[in-house]
Chains A and B, each alone.
Chain A
């Protein structure tokens, strides 16, 4: 029979604490990698891009979002807390009437949704918003 000493217990606690910090870092790293792949490492500014998403999503399976960045060539959308942060990339062609688009996305948990636009002059801007994803009561 094994009895945990106070020190063992504390060590376990620290391990759990470390795990709690490490796991989100993986997701953050994946998001950073996706951003770097899109921007080629260029710096990313603010402004000139709008991300519209609900503050609280009634169900994470279907979350309506809209992105808009007048003058953008492309807008990439990421969900920083999903197992895989990639969501979609909108590439606007010559007959695009406005550099905006709406869609419905899956969010695994409460997290930041990130939109990054590559503008016509090669610069990058981003917008991000936290979307709270509720855990159902008795969804039936």
Chain B
């Protein structure tokens, strides 16, 4: 709370108009360094495939100083409770084969960097997989256990642990090759108007980011901070759960967490953040 007032809408507009990095440095001067030791890239030049922006910004840059501060020290970040629960699960044997995550991956830290490239094409499965799908592949095929429900707290916690060990790594999701088709599907969804309100993702997070929607400061809708501890429901939330909330609020029938539609959308939205750091598990409102 010792930090000063952060830039508002006008300043951020200037940011977008300014030359990518020089402008960014001038405008948003507070930096996110977690625990005083993990620097997080919260703004970066937009990747080529994101034509609407010159600079991409983490959702962190849109939050109030108090919410931002909760993410600067792991002790102040309640999401870490989920990370710790997942560490216990990581070492626990599951299913018929008596194996745990730790049987193959010695420690969660062995998986550092994985989050940065997911969702990712999986040759054997012949599809794009999210972290959650990969976890379930291990749980069912290797451990011989029942699949975890896609959006169960156990799964969200494990996903948070996978983000935690990759914090600071630069998001670099592949959009070409075999992933291209799924990526295009996700992109088409991003620009499709849903629901009675006829809103696409782009209407809020591209056309109106940095504006207020009632009392909410609209972000660019980046997912590099997921899973995210939300003050609204005081728990960790998966990316798909957030998508569901957004689409529901357009007064549409939404897709389910884990559905092929949301997998495609996650790939596309994650790729819009190529260049930002993995920041999850973050704190948002």
Contact = CB atoms under 8 A, between A and B. Distances in A.
* A–B: direct contact at CB < 8 Å: yes
B215 A61 contact: no
Interface residues of A, number: 18
Interface SS, A side: loop
A23 B233 CA distance: 28
Question: Which of A56, A61, A62, A140 has the largest number of chain B CB atoms within 10 A?
Answer: A140
Contacts of B231: 58-59, 61-62
Interface stretch (A9-17, A70-78, A130-138): A130-138
Contact of A138 (B64, B70, B249): B249
Nearest to A135: B215
Contacts of A24: none
Contacts, number: 61
A59 B246 contact: no
Given A54-B65, A136-B216, A137-B212, 11 more contacts: A57-B64, A58-B67, A58-B231, A61-B231, A134-B216, A135-B215, A136-B285, A137-B218, A138-B214, A138-B245, A140-B242
B41 to A, nearest CB: 23
B1 A59 contact: no
A83 interface: no
B285 A58 contact: yes
Given A52-B1, A64-B1, A136-B232, A59 B212 contact: no
Contacts of A54: 64-66
Contact of B66 (A58, A134, A138, A140): A58
